Amino acid sequence: MANIAIAGANGFVGTHLIPTLSKKHTIRALGRSLKKSTDSQLEWKQTELFSSSSTIEALKDIDVAIYLVHSMMPSSRLFQGNFHDTDLLLADNFATACKQNGVKQIIYLGGLVPDGYISPHLQSRKEVEGVLAASKIPVTVLRAGMIVGPGGSSFEILKSLVKKLPVMVLPQWTQSATQAIFIDDVVTVIANTIENDSFKGKTLNLVNGESLTYSAILKQTAEGLGLKRYLFPVPIASTGFSKLWVQLFGCSSYELVSPLIDSLLCDLPQLDPPKEIANLISYPSFAMMIKESLRKDSTQKTLVSNTKIINGDSVRSIQRLPSVPTECHWVMKEYMKWLPTFFPFLIKVDNNLEKNTIEFRFSFLKKPLLILEEIKDSSNNEREKFHIIGGLLSRTTNTGWLEFRQIENKKYLIASIHEFFPSLPWMIYVMTQAPLHKFVMIAFGKHLKKHFETHHH
């Protein structure tokens, strides 16, 4: 019996996993929203994975940490950045918290890695593997194909399309090779990897061995639903059109659909299940998965909850910068030094060493635009964090932070702002300060790149 934490417990896989695991283990389910549980083996813990302190707190006394997080949906009213940079940041918080709490095993559910072209979505899952492995904790990576089951986004999109469209055109991507796996098999495999030494430090392809194309999947879904559908291949390679019709007829949001469809251009490797899990696969064909999904669908309420944006007017901004071969502290100092030179005569940066604060102001104004307080963390020299404690541009004095952090032994560098509540009226903020911040960070990234190119030649 182990103490297990599940990050992403509210999602499709998490909600299917909890009932099985709580029969044998104690479960701490981490989610944005707090839920009540009648199960004595299950505790829901409200956790903000963007916050390292919240994540560290959530993983106290945990033996095995299961990571099911993929950040496709925005987490604030304004989100500047993309899901791959967000995934890096969240995985780094999680890996650091695991390390600080002495977690013995991490289990990560990622995606199959194609042989040729790799989409940003699948590339991001691969990057997360590296970040978790850099913690030096034994990681079990399960690379899954399309996970099929009632409530799963891919399956629900497919079902909607087939139900609504009697005639479907099939762009070229529908001929891409793929593999599917049934949700119950995913749960069985994860349950078997817990505290199992033969799985530690391994990367396994979580597949059932059946070769499929997306057009075969659509055809079999129609057969499973007992519907007559006409499918016409067309020589269109673009995914733009597909994103539009999946959004319209698949009843899903663009943020979710777009990266998923970009991944459909990838040819996924056609593999047999690895020997470690071959005997755990009970659904060797897609036709069986459809049948079982529809049977379960009629007997159970869909479990998946949508992520709600908790802080209505908050802002999050995450930008990847060129990685630098020096400490994070240097990056922060360089930023403070560079900013006034980027806006000469306009912006001043004042360091108050006694108060440990930094003030940004217009040269012609006495009142600061933003006041930042440096948060010293001697245990982590790969992160520089500042709380936003005031200034004309901030609506609050106790939320929001700016940070620079290096990830995976300086392989990545990220600058980010979290939970910032602007004092400007929302529309004005969105049209002025927000794009300006993004522009400044891109310019700073170019400055860093140039600095190290000139200094290292």
Are the beta carbons of 373 and 357 closer than 8 angstroms? yes
- For the chain, the residue count is 457
Give the pLDDT of residue 300. 58
Q: Residue 12 phi/psi, 5° resolution?
A: -60, -55
Residue 109 has pLDDT above 90, yes or no: yes
Residue 309 has pLDDT above 90, yes or no: no
Look at 51-65, 195-209, 291-305, 349-363 and tell me which has the smallest mean pLDDT.
291-305
Q: What's the pLDDT tens digit per position in 376-418?
A: 876 678 899 999 999 999 999 998 999 999 999 999 999 999 9
Residue 38 has pLDDT above 90, yes or no: no
Angle at 139 between CA 114 and CA 411, to 5 degrees: 70
Residue 456 has pLDDT above 70, yes or no: no
Mean pLDDT for all residues in the chain: 89
Q: How confident is the model over 327-354, as a mean pLDDT? A: 92
Give the pLDDT of residue 304. 43
Give the pLDDT of residue 97. 96
Q: What six digits make up the tokens of 111?
A: 């995606």
Residue 301 has pLDDT above 80, yes or no: no
Q: How confident is the model over 19-35, as a mean pLDDT? A: 91
Portion of the chain with pLDDT greater than 90, in percent: 64
pLDDT top residue among 352 and 415: 415
Give the pLDDT of residue 303. 42
Longest dimension (CA), the chain: 75
Residue 269 has pLDDT above 90, yes or no: no
Q: What's the pLDDT tens digit per position in 121-168?
A: 888 999 999 999 999 999 999 999 889 998 888 788 888 888 888 888
CB neighbours of 151 closer than 8 A, spacing ≥ 6?
12, 15, 302, 303, 304
Q: Residue 185 phi/psi, 5° resolution?
A: -70, -35
Structural domains in the chain plus CATH codes: 3-299 (3.40.50.720), 315-455 (3.30.530.20)
Q: Which of 99-113, 234-248, 259-273 ranks highest by mean pLDDT?
A: 99-113
Give the pLDDT of residue 175. 87
